[in-house]
Amino acid sequence: MKEEIKYNFPTKEGKYGKYGGKFVPETLITALNELEEAYTKLRSDQTFINELDDLQSTYNGRPTPLTFSKRLTEHYGGAKIYLKREDLCHTGAHKLNNALGQILIAKYLGKKRIIAETGAGQHGVATATVCAKFGLECLVYMGEEDIERQKLNVFRMRLLGAKVIPVSSGSKTLKDATNEAIRDWIANVRDTHYIIGSVVGPHPYPMLVRDFQSIIGKETKEQIIKVEQKLPNYVLACVGGGSNAIGIFHEFIKNEEVNLIGIEAAGLGIDTNLHCATLTLGSEGIFHGMKTYLLQNEDGQILPVHSISAGLDYPGVGPEHSLLKDLERVNYQSITDGESLDAIMKVSKLEGILVALETAHAFAYLEKLMPNTKKDEIVVVNVSGRGDKDLNTIIEKLGDKI
């Protein structure tokens, strides 16, 4: 292994280079400061660490396996492909890693009411799950369009005792659900904890969500060294807000020889206006409490975005990804709706894993990456979630091709 490079973000002001920060109305500042203070204390508190470790192993099912993908490797004929199996987490995606950490903080802060936003519904399900386990009231804001395309997860949340609140403003997707969740938090900040589902929002959220998700990369590093005695050459993950990506990337950022590739949703194509390739096509702005890359018009209004996958359908991105793009430490690429559907079919048939539409974007990039890889190299793909929730969309799009 080569010498590690220096990388230590955020600063104590919550900045990642020029990105990040705390761009929220005054009402929330005290709560954000309390959250930061509590988290700073808890992360080195042995009782908290033990409790979270125990939940991660006995409830969430960690560590998740690193699976060697023999048939995909043979199919491409290049590097060996390994899969980090976050789809095997309880509730079917990496989202529970963060929800478990945050519910413990909420418990410590004495908050009785939990709110969350959700796009694909995976974070909503994860939040509803931890609220059920800890006996706390749970409200999940979800765009009307997402409620339609992720019906199964809506039923799951209700079954878990959560109240799902439809959001009809704006584009009726994740952006608008997040607006409503923040407004709810402004009004109920005294007794409510807001569990943000991705590495977005005002400081300290991008940091604490990253910290709870970085277990993915820590396990991956240990597991790959155990089987291959070396680091991977490439690590791939899909990027919406960017929590599964930062989760697997973070541990490898200091190892410059590991190529990190984040894959955004190109929707119908980056030459159309129906995509959400924020890092590929966006510009600097302030939104949802953070300075970061955004898809916006020249007036500074946020643009409507599109992806077949509700979890990537977001016009912003976590501020740490914006920094990693500017530092050229992570290479950000994009994949269309159609390419992601092809990948779903391929991974199902060659590996026996139905991946989520979000995750399929990372797999689709193998088509471009693998021809340039060598047999003695290693690629790790983060399987951020399973695709059962997407069956309705998949049947609608692929019905007669299957």
Partner 1 sequence: MSKIKTHLESLNNKGEKALTIFLTAGYPNINSFTELAVKVIEAGADILEIGLPFADSLADGPVIQSSYTEALKQNVNLKLTLKLISEIREKTNIPIVLMSASNPILNYGISKFRDDAIELGVNGVIIPDIPLEEYDNFFQNSFDGLDTIILTTPTSSEERIKSIDKRSSGFLYCVSVVGTTGIRNKFDDYVLENLERTYKLVENNKMQIGFGISSGDDVKRFSPFCDGVIVGSAIIKSLSNDDSNFTNTIKLVKELKSACKN
Where on the chain is the footprint of partner 1 (CB under 8 A)?
Answer: 13, 21-31, 169-170, 175-176, 179, 182-183, 186-190, 284-289, 294, 296, 298-302
Instruction: Return d(Cα 315, Cα 329) in angstroms, integer.
Output: 22
Catalytic residue among 15, 80, 84, 95: 95
Tokens 């199902």 belong to residue: 348
Q: Is 386 helix (H, G, I), strand (E, B) or coil?
A: strand
Q: In terms of CB distance, is 170 or 269 closer to partner 1?
A: 170
Q: Are the CB atoms for 89 and 96 separated by under 8 Å?
A: yes
Cα 174 off chain centre by? 13
We find the least distance from the C-beta atom of residue 176 to partner 1, in angstroms, to be 8
Q: State yes or no: is 117 an active-site residue.
A: yes
Helix (H, G, I), strand (E, B) or coil at 385: strand
Beta-strand pair 289-294/19-23: antiparallel
Task: State the minimum distance, in angstroms, from the CB of residue 172 to partner 1.
Answer: 13
Q: Which is nearer to partner 1, 242 or 289 (CB)?
A: 289
Q: Which amino acid is at 293?
A: Y
d(Cα 302, Cα 306) in Å, to the nearest integer? 13
Least distance (Å) between residue 304 CB and partner 1: 10
Nearer to partner 1, 289 or 311 (CB): 289
Integer Cα distance of 143 and 76 in angstroms: 39
For the CB of residue 280, give the shortest distance to partner 1 in the complex, in Å. Answer: 19
The residue type of 334 is S
Token look-up 């070396």 returns 230
Instruction: Give CA–CA dist 28/38, Å, rounded.
Output: 15
**Active site (annotated) includes residue 95:** yes
**Is 168 tagged catalytic?**
no
Query: For 190, phi and psi rounded to 5 degrees?
Result: -70, -35
Among the listed residues 86, 291, 384, 389, the single catalytic one is 384
Query: Do you find a cis peptide bond into 304, omega within 30 degrees of 0?
Result: no
Measured from the CB of residue 327, what is the shortest distance to partner 1 in angstroms?
Answer: 20
For partner 1, the closer of residues 161 and 170 by Cβ is 170
CB of 26 closer than 8 Å to CB of 186: no
Distance of CA 311 to the CA centre of its chain: 8
Could you say which of 117, 180, 264, 339 is catalytic? 117
Smallest gap from Cβ 297 to partner 1, in A, equals: 8
Task: Report, as residue numbers or ranges, the catalytic residues.
Answer: 95, 117, 384
